[in-house]
Amino acid sequence: MGKFTISKRKNDEYQFNLKAENGEIILTSEGYTIKANCHKGIESVKINSQDDSRYDRRVAVNDKSYFVLKARNGEIIGKSQYYSSKSSMEIGISSVKTNAPTAEIVDETL
């Protein structure tokens, strides 16, 4: 089972990472100034991760593939790592779809 980990950045913003069963980070959030908003972001990932139209597949300037997950309002709620191929990126999306809905939340800021 995957898990969401909440941590604090050096600038004191909260962020979450969605990790797959193997511990690999498959989605990273933007920064949140309030922890409650970080939790809302996690809930948004759980809901929106199941809708393929919420994934924006992109190519970075270094020709690496990556994706962002967007909420219904178009706001980005998470970004993937960079992948060496489009097929690897699709596996990453599939992993988010599988892990997000039932992932436990681990708050590392406590």
pLDDT band with cut points at 50, 70 and 90 for residue 46: very high
Provide the pLDDT for residue 77: 97
Which amino acid type is present at position 109? T
List pLDDT tens digits, range 52-92. 999 999 999 999 999 999 999 999 999 999 999 999 999 99
List pLDDT tens digits, range 3-28. 999 999 999 999 999 999 999 999 99
Sheet of 14-19, strands arranged across? 55-59, 65-70, 76-79, 25-28, 14-19, 3-8, 104-107
Cβ atoms of residues 100 and 19 within 8 Å: no
